Amino acid sequence: MIQDNEWSKVSVMPGHVLSRCATRNDGDMSVTTWFVTGASRGFGRELTGQLLARGHRVAATLRRPEQLNDLAGRHQDRLWVRALDVTDTGQMRRVVAEAFTDLGRVDVVVSNAGFGVFGAAEDLTDAQVEAMIATNLTASIQLARAVVPYLRGQGGGRLLQLSSMGGHIAFPAFSMYHATKWGIEGFYESLAVEVEPFGIRTMLVEPGMIRSTFYEAATRVPVSPPYRGTPADRTPVPLEQMPGDQAKVVATMIDAALAPDPPRRLLLGSDAYRLVHDALVARLAGVEAQRDDASSTDVDGWSQP
């Protein structure tokens, strides 16, 4: 693990050098290095900006690096930028390797890239289904697989995955998004236990409805005639009716990631707390109601070891 007196001086972009910075290993990480996917807009852009403003250094990845030219102009010594299409696993592995090689150490990896498609499941195209899974689920899994060996090799780190309250609950006309979030929640539930012995802590970030560019960037598929007037025929919620503040969400993410004992799940937004809480209470009640039926299917004479 890196100690207070260990420093790194590494190249960022051609012609630029990162300033020396220390990373503490006792939870009080005053200056840290972050790797962020999907840094072009929304949470990724906000996260990159807030981290740089706090004095941290950021390895920001996105499809079009020129979208961060304004930040690069102000924070050249602490911003490392690379083009990355997260659905290209080979490219992702190369960029991850380059980041850890150039920066010497990455303290926090944030898997943020993703998008939404609104529409009844039947109305989505095959291409939309495949793209959602490739970007929101498969790419998130492959990023975790790519960075874990480096985090393990350096003695630990933090791995944050952007999930959603939609990883616990589901709304009509958003089925594929929920499929990817429920899927990544299950992956991280297992991964967390696998990697904690190596000093790697994971966190699923689960926001509610946040006023961000996510909704304006989402694809909306018109409902076909059979679904008109059904629950799938939903009117979009206006941004001004959403409770979540993007800047506050990101600030809380940063604080939680740098806490000595970060939570495995981080619910953000009063709506997220209320809806997830109510869903889990109802689900538990349903489980309790099935106790006798569940036990009735055991082999005769079986008892808990």
The catalytic residues are 163, 177, 181
Find, among 109, 197, 206, 195, the residue nearest to 159 by Cα.
Answer: 109
Cα–Cα distance measured from residue 85 to residue 131, given in angstroms and rounded to the nearest whole number: 12
Cα–Cα distance measured from residue 36 to residue 160, given in angstroms and rounded to the nearest whole number: 9
The one-letter amino acid code at 14 reads P
The alpha-helical segments, DSSP class H, found in 117-269 are: 126-132, 139-153, 175-195, 214-217, 246-257
Cα–Cα distance measured from residue 140 to residue 127, given in angstroms and rounded to the nearest whole number: 19
Find, among 28, 19, 139, the residue nearest to 80 by Cα.
Answer: 19
Q: How many CB atoms lie within 10 A of CB 67?
A: 15
> 157-162 and 108-111: which strand pairing?
parallel
